[in-house]
Amino acid sequence: KATVMVVDKTGTITKGKPEVTSVTSFSDLDETEILSILSTLESKSEHPIAHAIQTYAKEKDIQTKSISDFSIIEGVGLRGSIDGVTFTAGNTRVLKGMSEDFDVATVEQEASKGNTPVILRNETQVIGVVYVADKIKEQAIQSVEKLHLLGKKVMMLTGDMQGTGEYIAQKVGIDTVIAQVMPEDKLRVIKDLQTQGEIVAMAGDGVNDAPALAQANVGIAMGSGTDVAIESAGMTLLAGDIGKLPEAVKLSRITMQ
C-alpha cells in the first residue's frame, strides 16, 4: 500500500564506503598536517566518512596526534583540542559563528559533482577542506526504475549538502531530494508525509535513521547497516541489497493476494 519510498543516501543508495578524492588547504598548513589533525578528530567517530579519512591518512603514513575535550556535535561534525588548539570538522554548519568570511562557492561547486566536503577550522579560520565521494550501488538505478513502474514515488533524505544530494538523485532517477537534514528532520519528514495522507516506506541503515524507520508505516533496514536500524525496522534487505526493494513490494502484493 505504500505510496512513497523514502531512502537514505549513504549506505542505502550509495555503497557507504566513501573515499577521499582531494585535499585543499586554505591556510599555511600543508596537506599532511591537515590530514593529521582531521584523522585525529575522525578517529573518535564511527561514520563512514571518518573511516574514509582515516584509511587515506594511513595509506599516506600520516600519524594521528593526541586529542582532548572531544565532542560530537549532532548533525554538524566533531570538535576537539589538539596541541592546545580547538579544531572543528564537519559540514558547512561548522562555519556558523566564524569571525572570518569563507567563500562557500568553491565547496558548493565540488558538492554539485558528488563530492562531500569535510571542512576543518580552528576558532577563527578555515584550515582546509577534504572532499570525499561515495560510489552509487550498481542496483540503485534499476531499483528506482522498478519502483516507479510499481507506481511508487521515491524521495531521498540526506544529511549531505544539497548539491551532492541532487547529483546522486539525478544519477539514480530519484524524484525528490531533501538535503542537510538532521536525524530529527528525517522523523519530521516522515510524519509530514503521513499527515498529507501518504503511506510511507522508509529504507535506511544508520543510527540516525532509526527514529524515522520506527515512525514509517514500513521500516526497511539494510542488512549491512547498524543493529539499531535493523531492530527499528520491520523488514531487512539482506546484504544491504537495494535491488531487493521492488522485489519486497511484489512479494508483499502476492502474499496479500
Q: Is 8 a catalytic residue?
A: yes
Side-chain-side CA neighbours of 76 within 13 Å: the count stands at 14
Half-sphere exposure of 216 toward its Cβ, with a 13 Å CA cutoff?
A: 29
Q: Are 130 and 18 in contact (CB under 8 A)?
A: no
Cβ atoms 26, 128 nearer than 8 A: yes
Neighbour-count burial of 85, counting CB atoms closer than 10 A to its CB (0-12 exposed, 13-18 middle, 19+ buried): exposed
Each as own residue / partner, the long-range contacts of residues 66-70 (CB below 8 Å, 24 or more positions apart, any chain) are 66/40, 67/40, 67/41, 67/43, 70/41, 70/44
First to last CA, the chain: 13
Order of strands, sheet of 68-73, starting from the edge strand that comes earlier in the sequence: 19-25, 126-133, 116-121, 85-90, 77-82, 68-73
Which residue in the list 8, 134, 205, 209 is annotated as catalytic? 8
Catalytic residue ranges: 8
